[in-house]
Amino acid sequence: MKKTTAVAITLACVSMAVFSPHTNACTNLLVTKGASNDGSVMITYTCDGEFHPHLEYTPAADFQPGDSLEITDWHGETRGWITQVEHTYAVVALINEHQLAISETTFSGREELRNNEGLLHYWDMISLALQRTRTAREAIDIMTDLVAKYGYRSTGESFSIADPNEAWILEMIGPGEGGKGAQWVAVRVPDGFISCHANKARIGEFPLDDPENCLYSGNVISFAVEKGYYDPGSGEPFRFGEAYCPSTPRNQRYADARVWSIFRRAAPSQDFSPDYHRAVESAEPYPLWIKPDKPLSLADVFSLMRDHYEGTDYDMTGGIDAGPYGCPNRWRPMTFSLDDTTVQYAWERPISTQQTGFSFVSQSRSRLPDHIGGVLWYGVDDTYTTCYFPLYCGIDAIPESYTIGSLQKFSWESAWWVFNFVSNIACLKYSYMLPEIQEVQSDIEGTLIALQPAVDATALGLSDSNPQLMTRYLTDYCVTHGEQVVRRWRELGERLLTKYNDGYVKDEDGRPREKGYPEGWLREVVRARPDQFRLPVRDTAAAESRLVD
């Protein structure tokens, strides 16, 4: 048996997130064909954690019968070997040449079910499925077969899996130390509906006799009964999420709030209550999927992934915690206590967060050939201030600035650092700078979306007559615009630092102007410490003259 090592580690970026201090932190949205305005199946991914992602392209490859594939940990140490297949498909980040896209969110669930003797982490399973399968159903089959044979190493996981026709959610959890395989269930999102998940198991009751729409492991219920997670005599139906990831006020606030915010914006007519994510007693959980008020466009999906609960009671751009300029970022840790250590407090956990390493929105389009139909719209850093650009799944190279850099050293050559520079500078005067960032963001993304039909048509025209030229055309288009985005963002960052230097705001003539602080925030400051800042009335005029710079 010949042993081979993978040509490239497709999920290097995901692996980095796993070893960061804050990893249980991702958000996925799934949009079916009938729920999109152009017949796309779309899924999203925010891969959240303090890490520097490296975008990867893995070419298709052929292997000899009997070859095996090395499985390593993040440090390059060999964990084991699995049987290699004779042919693997090309993968661009997390979409393959057949328009199959996969993303995930982690739920801790039952910590005791983690099996450190299992071979495969969730990122191994995603990578292997992308390299070996063409459809969502095939991906589910291969992922569950692999963990049955080699063992599952991660904690609980919710996978979003999309192909040009279907979107599925697969939820999985391990058997505990020394156990075999995993417990899992997979459901197809009905056409015309959307779904989402965010670090908490979402599948509840599921049909046991509908293999077209639901697949599950044979022990998914019996194992829960054996462990005491479910009592069949209770009269309650079996619910995967409640058995393997029980609801708590903490995970409802942390995870279900993000689900609620996507649903409230996609279907405002349904008036989803915040009660469940605020752990109000007897409040109903949010449904696994909903019908949006209107079919969603690509731009709509971008927007849904940009969210700090704006316009709600939980709006993170308001209140004294947002500072004088409405900054929605809350520095970690998420929870804290004050004098009474029995009382805990928690910041809101939004979809958009400064901890995002990378994010994407995938399109899988059945009306086009695979190499043109599959597109991954990719961005780095916070979704609110990133800028998405397209990566067609038929390309054979990627923009270099997204492949280089280190968390340990700033570099203008790294796309991740360029975007971090802009988003961190924006925290200094957020309400001033955000509109300027969004203006550039809207210009670039709007232009790229508007160009997509022409790019599709040009590539389609070359598809049969000159496929090599088609690949070069799409590759040049994606690489050029990816690098152009970085250049525009570098210029934006330099302009913002110049304009808002030292707390001033330069006017059209480049002269620094004092802007002070918003009145509402000043009132909060004076209310907290009135004696410190109050000037005696008799000295006000003299003090004002002395304080002029």
| pLDDT single digits (tens) 39-56 | 999 999 999 999 999 999
Provide the pLDDT for residue 548: 53
* pLDDT above 90 for 509: yes
Provide the pLDDT for residue 539: 58
CA R_g for the chain: 25
280: left (phi over 0), alpha (psi -120 to 50) or beta: beta
Provide the pLDDT for residue 544: 59
pTM of the model: 0.94
Asked if 106 and 23 touch (Cβ cutoff 8 Å), the reply is yes
Contacts of 435 (CB under 8 A, 6+ apart): none
pLDDT band (50, 70, 90) for residue 6: very low
Tell me, what DSSP letter sits at residue 281? T
| Average pLDDT value for the chain | 94
Provide the pLDDT for residue 8: 33
Provide the pLDDT for residue 545: 58
Q: Which two tokens stand for residue 103?
A: 């993303």
- pLDDT tens figures, 373-419: 999 999 999 999 999 999 999 999 999 999 999 999 999 999 999 99
Strands (E), 326-406: 335-336, 345-346, 356-364, 375-380, 389-392
* pLDDT above 60 for 486: yes
- pLDDT tens figures, 443-458: 999 999 999 999 999 9
* pLDDT above 60 for 315: yes
Provide the pLDDT for residue 540: 57
User: Any bridge partners for residue 171, and if so which?
Assistant: 158, 185
Provide the pLDDT for residue 3: 53
* pLDDT above 90 for 2: no
Domain residue spans in the chain?
3-364, 517-547
